[in-house]
A = this chain, B = another copy of it.
Amino acid sequence: MQCFRTWRALTLSSRHITVWWSRAWSSAAGPGRLDLRGIYPPIATPFTASEDLDYPKLEENLHKYAQIPFKGLVVQGSNGEYPYLSEEERVEVVKTVRRSLPTDKLLMAGSGCESTRATMKLTERMAAAGADTALVVTPCFFKGRMDSRALIQHFIKVADCSPVPVVLYSVPANTGLELPLDAVVQLSQHPNIIGLKDSGGDITRIGLIVHKTQAQDFQVLAGSAGFLMAAYCVGAVGGVCALANVLGQELCDLERLCVSGCWKEARVLQQRLIEPNTAVTRKLGVPALKQAMEWFGFHGGACRSPLQPLTEAETQQLRRDFSSNGWL
């Protein structure tokens, strides 16, 4: 812990310090904690036809997102196809977003890698590139050995040396493992670990995490729009939702309804969002997310290989999942 405090004091850019103190350490989320409350799209990464990064299209998307009352953006969540980007590309995309992002919005950058040392290094680079907080996914290749002991050590080392607060990221559909509850509870006590993005969607677990970390003012974010309302109901403070790339305003509306206690109205809206959300996540994945973005005025485009474009039948299914709920 010494390391974390000293190191952070020495390395933080003045930008971080000033922006943090205006934006982050608001009283509502507890003294000294970056306030994560709100909705974040985990933005998609546009590519050219030859699969190179398409920065102009990225920036056009960012301008459109600026009109929506998001709390911030997640750059290089799963939907950003981060495993398909080189380290340089990952950092460069964060820099690009930082330049475009209004200063009152948070930039949460995915910095997880398989090894602890690579994660530590990339987390530092992400902070230097302008990230306000680092979203660190569970390493997962050696699943059989990624028990609580290993994962706790991993996240502590990363958090100790990260210049910015760390948000844990559990996404079992992609990684094949869930960050164990006891690990979350123990890690919530680290001064530089401030929250969890939980994409597994087990609402019992989410409720229990809120319950067992409340002394730490630990902030839980729903990792998908399908259970956003239920997550608010049991104590989550926001959501990182792929669907926000497409229906961003609608998800901010849902947030507002939940936060203000309008549960009946919230339910009506939530229910119409489940099928479109499942379509762009579990069912058809990032290629569907990017296709839907095109329909709603954003730049989606193709994914990097090995992700394949939707088949014609999948595209029709996707369209039905939006149209049958009144969105198309």
Decide if B174 touches A203 in the complex (CB within 8 Å). no
Contacts of A114 in B (CB 8 A): 83-84
Interface presence of A15 (CB below 8 A): no
Cα-based distance from A275 to B185 in the complex (angstroms): 14
In the assembled complex, which residues on chain B have CB atoms less than 8 Å from the CB atom of A284? 145
Contact between A208 and B275 (Cβ–Cβ < 8 Å)?
Answer: yes
Contact with B along A173-211 (1 / 0, CB 8 A): 111100000000000000000000000011110011011
CA distance A83 to B119 in the complex (A): 12
* Residues of the B chain whose Cβ atoms lie less than 8 Å from the Cβ of A277: 204
The yes or no answer to A270 lying at the interface (CB within 8 A) is yes
A121 to B174, CA, bound (A): 24
Interface size range of chain A in the complex: 35 or more
- Quick one: CB contact mask for A222-236 with B, threshold 8 Å, 1 for yes? 001011011001110
Determine how close the nearest CB of chain B comes to the CB of A161; give it in whole angstroms: 13
Stretch at the interface among A34-42, A291-299, A301-309: A301-309
Residues in B neighbouring A143, C-beta threshold 8 A:
173-174, 176
Contact with B along A78-118 (1 / 0, CB 8 A): 10000111100000000000000000000000000011111
In the complex, how many angstroms separate the beta carbon of A52 from the nearest chain B beta carbon?
A: 9
Q: Is the Cβ of A207 less than 8 Å from the Cβ of B233? A: no
Contact B117 A150 (CB under 8 A): no
Question: Of B85, B86, B275, B285, which one neighbours A144 at CB under 8 angstroms?
Answer: B285
Contact B306–A151 (Cβ < 8 Å): yes
Are B174 and A307 in touch, CB under 8 angstroms? no
Chain A residues near B (Cβ < 8 Å): 51, 78, 83-86, 114-118, 139, 141-146, 149-151, 153-154, 157, 173-176, 201-204, 207-208, 210-211, 224, 226-227, 229-230, 233-235, 261, 263, 267, 270-272, 274-275, 277-278, 282-287, 304-308
